[in-house]
Structure 1
Amino acid sequence: MDQDSEFTEWAAGTWQRLLRSAVLLGCTLPEAEDVAQSTLVRCYAKWTLVRRADNRTAYAARVLLNVHREARRKRSAGERPVAALPDGPAGPDEADRVVAVDAVRRALGDLTPGHREVVLLRYYLQLSEREIAEACRVPQGTVKSRLSRAIAQLGDSVELAAFRGEGDLR
């Protein structure tokens, strides 16, 4: 298999994880698509390094974090207008899903960027503490303490209280 075919196959299998990872880092869907696309472009440019990496997911995660951080520095905060408002009310299952997703996003949004990154890398991308330390370029002890503090904060989150049986979802 040539390099382009190998990269294309890897990228197709990785796209959704990169996209979801960017959303979990706090990007809107269009921003997440840009971050994921930029990550793939950078991985393609360094494909000989990526393909030799012990864990391609960890390598791509480090690139994703760098792209995300750069995008955050460049972008101003605030609300953005949309071309069209969403259609009418969703069904009950969709409404529950939207409430759950919103609660998780708000809870993750309350974390510091460093805490949010380690939670994403550990529990969504399932990287080891060593791989997270390499991706974030911090000592492994820092990863452990950030994970511990982030999990404690998420455990105390008002946004997630309904999922602990402490309230109604609505």
Structure 2
Amino acid sequence: MATSTPTHERGSSIDRLVEADALARVRAGEASAYALLVREHGPMARRLAVLSGAGPDADDVVQEAFVKAYRALPRFRTGEPFRPWLLRIVVNETRNLRRGSSRRAGREERDAIDGARVVEPPGDPAEAAVAAERRSRLLAAVRRLPEPSREVVVCRYLMELTEAETATALDLPAGTVKSRLSRALGHLREELADD
């Protein structure tokens, strides 16, 4: 008797088989099955939209991304994971939004990055203060990265996507993600070397 391995994606509670079934039902005309995908992937899609610069328009970006994904489902490859494909649409919609309102989006992005979860060690208040200062410096340095580098760092480390998911979400080759991450991390290390 074969043992089954979990088919959950990292950071996703939906089983890949359940997701595939929902996608098949949507393609067969059962539009209500799409609600499962929206409920499952909506929070991460919104978080990515905010971290990518959509700010207060994140809900609109996510809604538009889900509508576009729904319309594009006939072109979606059966068997591929839905989440990275959807996140690519979210990133593209956010880029479209940012073209029209870059100043406001930049301010909201800074706020979102500042609010990103970074585990802080419990214990000594002095250590907590030092950790908070380091976190602040790190997030400020991430904000100063050029947009292409910032996007891969946000997806990979703040959104906790795998390199493959990051490549799919940003519509980049895996090698480009790796090289941008390497350069961005080197730049961050250099900038924060005295920390």
The verdict on a shared fold, with TM-score over 0.5 as the criterion, is yes
Provide TM-score, normalisation by structure 2. 0.59
Per-residue displacement from partner, 1:121-170 (whole Å, max 9, x unpaired)?
323252333x4334434333221110112223334556xx9xx9x4xxxx
Distance 1:136 1:43, change over 3 A: same
Alpha-carbon distance between aligned partners in 1 of 2:186 and 2:146, rounded to the nearest angstrom: 13
Aligned counterpart, 1:61: 87
CA contact (8 A) 1:24 1:105 kept: no
How far the C-alpha of 1:76 sits from its partner, in A, is: 4.6
Amino acid at match of 1:126: L
Question: What is the root-mean-square deviation in Å for CA atoms of aligned residues?
Answer: 3.3
| Structure 1 runs, 4 residues or longer, greater than 4 Å off | 98-105
CA distance in 2, matches of 1:7, 1:51: 16
Q: State how far apart, in whole Å, the 2-side matches of 1:151 and 1:103 are.
A: 14
Q: Give me the whole-angstrom Cα distance separating, in 2, the residues matched to 1:145 and 1:136.
A: 14
Equivalent of residue 151 in structure 2, options 117, 120, 131? 117
Q: Provide, for residues 11-66 of structure 1, a one-character-per-residue CA deviation record: whole Å limited to 9, x for no partner.
A: 111111011112222332x1222222221111121234447251111101211111
Whether the aligned pair in 1 keeps the contact of 2:163 and 2:177 (CA below 8 Å) is no
5+ residue gaps, structure 1: 80-95
What's the counterpart of residue 41 of structure 1?
67
Aligned partner of 1:17 in structure 2 is: 44
1:5 to 6, 19, 32: 32
Check whether the contact 1:116–1:150 (CA below 8 A) recurs between aligned residues.
yes
Question: Could you tell me the TM-score, scaled by structure 1's length?
Answer: 0.66
Asked whether the 8 Å contact 1:58–1:127 carries over to 2, the reply is no
Number of residue pairs matched by the alignment: 143
Aligned-residue sequence identity (percent) comes to: 31
Counterpart AA for 2:34: F
SS in 1 for 2:80: coil
Between the two structures, name the one with larger relative contact order (CA 8 Å, sep ≥ 6).
Answer: 1
